[in-house]
């Protein structure tokens, strides 16, 4: 009889098991991802409900890491409290024990080939017949995932059976159970999955490669090792994410330490229900569930204390986004109004930077200096972070404006304030428009259609022309010259818009564009043109004098009237 360890079969089994886990988790998330996120978001109000939701969803998803990362996202977004987030993570530890029960009940009790191979065969045949967006396609991936999971388990089991019969366990046991706990931590940290680690432990236990106490110590280690994924997910994150990941670490380490210290009593309790010698695999599944439930019971009364403690360790550091408002008291309206105007101009520049990056344009073509958001940091903000910062800055601007309104203002001062805060709103509506078409711009850029590529480049060129016009405008000292420059910018924008419409009509008439592309192009052009106009209007309200603002508005009204009259003439001639 061959007494050597079939290493390649063991590794192949592990790979197949991992792939089965991936298929199961990914297919379930694709079929019901939004539903699970909704449960985590809405049905976690209260300690017991949060624990129960975490346990249920983890048992279905078969991934405590996936649930924990969702919790990180929701707590970071402020839609879930710190205490409820801790509750969900505690519940996820109970839910992850479902894997041990699944393997214990089916993995070593039945002849695996009798159901694993049919699952793979049926799932694979269905997979070929349906498109990747259908629910049947995802259901077939789920079937295949189950099949691969148990097939991989069978490979691992048979690869170590002969080897286990010729291994002297007593020689390994001399190192102490603490070594097995460390091995469990390392395996889970490397695999990024406690479910895989536990499957390996169950396989070794079923083959008598290790004893029940050794397996129990490894399972405790696997629980602690599962915190690595969440810790990695919080690196560089905001303070709430760090709090959640630290709570996960504290809960698992303390629970593991208590379980390890009480290993003999817990083993005795398990032995009252299941024979740890005759049915060691089932007993280990019960042990895994038992010590996780014990950990939840120990921590449940102290969730609030733990949450407050973590807030002290990781306090909120409110980032200073304003440049001009911080040192200006609202009790001096003239100075406060000037600061508010300058802060909104700062907001305008941050909006410009966001728009340039959305179009993948080098900001150095417009700015010759770093803007305040990134001036004092070495890192480059992601577009999503920059958009969030712009929103926060706008919130601080509006808060300052509200305080300033409480001061005793003259009617002229109040009207001026109303005009410049309206400019701030126009800037935010502008950046929102650009954010709304970003995915369309990316599609145009990556498209195989030459016309879409050309239009993408045209949008980039139009934006650069606008910002060069704005730079010229801001360099002018004479209000009258600024007024004329803004009007010229409006005329250039409208001419570019007309050229775009005419080109799109020509391409549509020739049948060169698909209907979906026509709709996308028209929608992007409308929002883009509107965003550009809003930026011009913001500068008009911020920098022109009252007389020039009146002339500008009147000129636009006259132009609109003349355009309407011209259109009526053309219609009459037709």
Residue 25: the pLDDT is 62
Q: What percent of the chain has pLDDT over 70?
A: 76
- In tens, the pLDDT along 154-196 reads 776 666 555 544 444 445 556 677 888 888 888 777 665 676 6
The Cα-based distances of 46 to 43, 253, 274, 300 in angstroms read 9, 24, 34, 11
Side-chain half-sphere CA neighbours of 311 within 13 A: 11
The mean-pLDDT minimum among 26-30, 37-41, 391-395 falls in: 37-41
pLDDT: which is higher, 542 or 82 = 542
The whole-number average pLDDT for the span 223-237 is 70
Residue 484: the pLDDT is 87
Residue 317: the pLDDT is 57
Give the containing element (helix H, strand E) for 153. Answer: helix 135-165
- In tens, the pLDDT along 278-316 reads 788 888 888 888 888 888 888 888 888 888 888 888 776
The mean-pLDDT minimum among 20-29, 115-124, 173-182, 432-441 falls in: 20-29
The whole-number average pLDDT for the span 106-125 is 70
Q: Is the pLDDT of residue 375 over 70?
A: no
Residue 534: the pLDDT is 93
Q: Is the pLDDT of residue 216 over 70?
A: yes
- In tens, the pLDDT along 466-490 reads 999 888 888 888 888 888 888 888 8
Residue 574: the pLDDT is 46
DSSP 106: I
Pair 521, 458: CB distance under 8 Å: no
User: Can you list the domains of the chain with their CATH numbers?
Assistant: 7-313 (no CATH), 333-573 (1.20.58)
Residue 379: the pLDDT is 53
Average pLDDT score over the chain: 78
Q: Is the pLDDT of residue 131 over 80?
A: no
Q: How confident is the model at residue 424 (pLDDT cuts 50, 70, 90)?
A: very high
Q: Is the pLDDT of residue 568 over 50?
A: no
Q: What are phi and psi of 391, to 5 degrees?
A: -65, -45
The mean-pLDDT minimum among 95-104, 212-221, 305-314, 424-433 falls in: 95-104
Q: Is the pLDDT of residue 349 over 70?
A: yes
Helix count and strand count (H, E) for the chain: 24, 0
Residue 206: the pLDDT is 77
What DSSP string describes 260-325? Answer: HHTHHHHHHHHHHHS-TTTTHHHHHHHHHHHHHHHHHHHHGGGHHHHHHHHHHHS--------SSS
- In tens, the pLDDT along 350-371 reads 999 999 999 988 888 888 777 7
SS3 354: helix
How many C-beta atoms lie closer than 10 Å to residue 1's C-beta? Answer: 5
How far is it, in rounded angstroms, from Cα 173 to Cα 183? Answer: 13
pLDDT: which is higher, 459 or 71 = 459
How far is it, in rounded angstroms, from Cα 407 to Cα 387? Answer: 31
Residue 165: the pLDDT is 47
How far is it, in rounded angstroms, from Cα 322 to Cα 324? Answer: 6
Residue 146: the pLDDT is 73
Residue 423: the pLDDT is 92
């Amino acid at each position: 009889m061959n007494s050597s360890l079939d290493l390649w079969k063991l590794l192949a089994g592990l790979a197949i098991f991992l792939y089965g886990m991936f298929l199961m988790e990914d297919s379930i998330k694709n079929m019901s991802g939004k539903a699970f996120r909704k449960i985590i978001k809405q049905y976690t109000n209260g300690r017991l409900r949060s624990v129960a939701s975490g346990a249920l969803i983890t048992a279905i998803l078969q991934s405590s890491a996936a649930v924990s990362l969702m919790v990180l996202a929701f707590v970071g977004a402020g839609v879930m409290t710190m205490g409820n987030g801790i509750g969900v993570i505690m519940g996820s530890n109970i839910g992850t024990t479902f894997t041990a029960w699944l393997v214990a009940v089916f993995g070593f009790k039945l002849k695996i080939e009798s159901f694993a191979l049919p699952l793979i065969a049926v799932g694979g045949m269905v997979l070929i017949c349906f498109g990747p967006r259908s629910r049947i396609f995802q259901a077939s991936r789920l079937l295949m995932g189950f099949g691969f999971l148990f097939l991989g388990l069978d490979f691992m089991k048979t690869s170590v059976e002969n080897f286990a019969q010729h291994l002297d366990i007593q020689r390994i046991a001399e190192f102490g159970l603490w070594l097995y706990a460390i091995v469990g931590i390392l395996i889970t940290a490397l695999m990024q999955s406690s479910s895989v680690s536990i499957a390996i432990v169950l396989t070794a236990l079923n083959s008598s490669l290790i004893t029940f106490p050794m397996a129990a110590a490894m399972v405790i280690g696997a629980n602690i090792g599962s915190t690595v994924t969440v810790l990695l997910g919080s690196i560089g994150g905001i303070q709430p994410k760090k709090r959640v990941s630290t709570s996960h670490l504290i809960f698992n380490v303390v629970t593991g330490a208590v379980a390890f210290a009480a290993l003999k009593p817990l083993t005795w309790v398990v032995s009252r229900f299941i024979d740890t010698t005759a049915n060691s695999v089932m007993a280990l599944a019960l042990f895994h569930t038992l010590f996780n439930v014990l950990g939840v019971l120990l921590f449940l009364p102290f969730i609030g204390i733990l949450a407050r403690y973590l807030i002290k360790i990781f306090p909120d550091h409110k980032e200073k986004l304003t440049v001009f408002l911080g040192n200006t008291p609202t009790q001096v309206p003239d100075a406060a109004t000037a600061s508010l105007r300058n802060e909104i101009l700062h907001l305008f520049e941050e909006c410009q930077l966001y728009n340039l990056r959305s179009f993948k344009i080098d900001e150095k073509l417009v700015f010759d200096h770093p803007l305040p958001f990134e001036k004092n940091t070495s890192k480059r903000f992601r577009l999503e972070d920059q958009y969030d910062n712009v929103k926060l800055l706008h919130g601080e601007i509006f808060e300052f404006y509200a305080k300033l309104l409480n001061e005793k203002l003259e009617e002229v001062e109040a009207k001026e304030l109303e005009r410049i805060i309206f400019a701030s709103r126009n800037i935010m509506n502008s950046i929102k428009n650009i954010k709304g078409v970003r995915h369309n711009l990316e599609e145009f850029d990556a498209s195989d259609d030459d016309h879409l590529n050309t239009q993408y480049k045209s949008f980039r060129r139009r934006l650069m022309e606008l910002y060069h016009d704005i730079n010229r405008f801001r360099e002018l000292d004479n209000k009258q010259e600024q007024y004329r420059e803004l009007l010229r910018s409006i005329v250039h924008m409208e001419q570019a818009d007309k050229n775009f419409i005419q080109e799109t009509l020509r391409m549509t008439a020739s049948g060169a564009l698909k209907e979906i592309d026509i709709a996308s192009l028209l929608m992007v052009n409308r929002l883009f043109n509107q965003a550009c106009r809003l930026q011009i209007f913001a500068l008009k309200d911020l920098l022109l004098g009252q007389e020039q603002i009146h002339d500008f508005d009147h000129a636009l009204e006259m132009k609109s009237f003349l355009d309407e009259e011209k259109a009526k003439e053309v219609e009459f001639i037709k």
